[in-house]
Structure 1
C-alpha cells in the first residue's frame, strides 16, 4: 500500500503512526529484508547476539508465524518508513507484566537506516500505547555497555539510568556490561 493509500484510509490518524514511522505487523514476503539484516554481525551483536546462519525456509517460516501472531502485550512490530512503508527495523515488547505494570522493550534498526530518528519515534509510539492503552506504569530497556549510540539514544529520550550489570554479557570474545534504563509513566507524561 502506498503512503497516499494509507492517508486515504486515515492511517496517519492512527496511534501507530508518527511523522517518520508507522508500526505494523510483518508481511510474510518481507522475510528477505530481515534475513539480510541478520547477515550483518554488528547488527546482531547490538540487537541481541550473533546467531548461527539460518536457511531461507527458516526465515519464511518465522515471517509466516510473525504475520499471524495473536494480540498480547508481548508485541513484535515492523518499523516502516511512513513515506514508502519499507521496513527499516523492528521493535518488540517483552517481559510484559500487567500485575507489576512493567514492560521491557527492544528496538533494532537496519544498519543503512540508522541515525534517521526511526528508533526514537518507534519507542515513543510503543510507550504511548503501553502506557495509554494497556495501563502499564513503567518501561525498561537493557543496553549493551559498549553500544554508545543506544546509550545516547536512551539518555536523549529522558530514560533514567537505573543500574549496570557488570560483565553480564559475552560478545566479541569479552565480557560486556549491560546498562539498565527505566522510565515511569509520570516521567513519560512530563516529557510532552
Structure 2
C-alpha cells in the first residue's frame, strides 16, 4: 500500500482525481477479493442494481485483470480509494454516454462498512468536474431505486433535480420499485460553487 505522505511527495494531491477524502484510480488485479467480498452482501447488490449469481474466485480474478487493463475512454470504471491508506472503499462508473447531446450517466457504490463517510459525495463531484470541465459534457444523470433512501437523500443533498419516476420499473425481493431519475446540468453544477 502507498501512504498519503508518499502521494503528497509525488504530487497526487494536485490531481483532478484526488479530493480531501478519496482518490479515484484504476483497479489493481490483486484487489479482486475486496470486490468479491462486497458482492456477497445481497442488500448492497439490490440497492445498486440487482442480485447477481455467485462468481468463482477465478472469475473475479479475470474480471479484475480486465478492469485493470481496460483502455482509457469516457466510459470509466474507477476504484474509490481512501486517501489515507489507498484501500478501496467502493467504485464509480460512467456509462450511457451520448457525446452528441452531451449527456452521461453514472453509478456509484460504496462498500457497506464504508458508508456515511463522504466518499460517494466526493467521488461524484470528482467525476462531474472531469466530465463537465475536461470532456465538455453538459448533463449528468443517475437512476436510483425508489426504496434506496440513502441514495435518494444523497442525490438531493448534492443538488440533483428529480426529473422523473418510472413506476414499478425494477424488481427485487421486496417487490416492484419505482426508478427515480436525477439530473444535473453543467450550469447547475457551476452554480453550486
Aligned pairs (5 A) from 1:34-183: 34-183=35-184
Say yes or no: does 1:20 pair with 2:54: no
Query: Number of matched residues?
Result: 192
Which 4+ runs in 1 deviate beyond 6 A? Answer: none
Normalising to structure 1: TM-score of the pair? Answer: 0.99
Normalising to structure 2: TM-score of the pair? Answer: 0.99
2:165 aligned counterpart, secondary structure: strand
Q: Distance in 1 between matches of 2:128 and 2:167?
A: 27
Q: Which residue of 2 aligns with 1:6?
A: 7
1:134 aligned counterpart, secondary structure: coil
Gap regions ≥5 residues in structure 2 = none
Per-residue CA deviation, residues 12-53 of structure 1 (Å, 9 max, x unaligned), is 000000000000000000000000000000010111100001
1:70 aligned counterpart, secondary structure: coil
Q: Distance in 1 between matches of 2:9 and 2:27?
A: 21
2:44 aligned counterpart, secondary structure: helix
What is the CA distance between 1:173 and its match in structure 2?
A: 4.7
Q: Distance in 2 between matches of 1:173 and 1:90?
A: 25
